[in-house]
Amino acid sequence: MNMSLTIGTEPIPLTKDDQGVIRVGSTRVTLDTVALAFGEGMTAEGIVEQYPSLRLADVYAVIAYILNHRADVDAYLREQDRRGAEVRREVEVKHPATGVRERLLSRQRQA
């Protein structure tokens, strides 16, 4: 029996959504999530266990991408952190936390 192995390149299972967030395959799991879990020492199998919508092969491909493009991924993660901090500041300005406890206790007393 003559078997041949086809060697080729698989597409990287990363997609960018309308907000510029990079997600793994067609899931809602972000590149940030996988990069953080991997950076904390979690295995690909552990990541899939934590996020069962992911495919193991996709997680390995994303980890390979992270390792092969470390500077680009780190820059992307820094930008995501910056954008997240900006959104948090905007929310805090629109909805200040000052007096939240007092307002909640007041509502509870009125109920």
Tell me the per-residue pLDDT of 30-87, one tens digit each, with 9 for 90 and over: 999 999 999 999 999 999 999 999 999 999 999 999 999 999 999 999 999 999 999 8
Q: Is residue 47 part of a domain?
A: yes
Residue 30 is part of a domain; what is its CATH number?
Answer: 1.10.10.10
Domain count, the chain: 1
Q: Is residue 40 part of a domain?
A: yes
Q: Domain of 19?
A: 14-105
Q: Is residue 31 part of a domain?
A: yes
Q: Is residue 6 part of a domain?
A: no
Q: Is residue 23 part of a domain?
A: yes
Tell me the per-residue pLDDT of 83-107, one tens digit each, with 9 for 90 and over: 999 988 988 888 877 777 788 888 8
Residues 6+ apart with CB under 8 A from 24: 13, 14, 30, 31, 33, 34, 54, 58, 59, 62
> What pTM value is reported for the model?
0.78
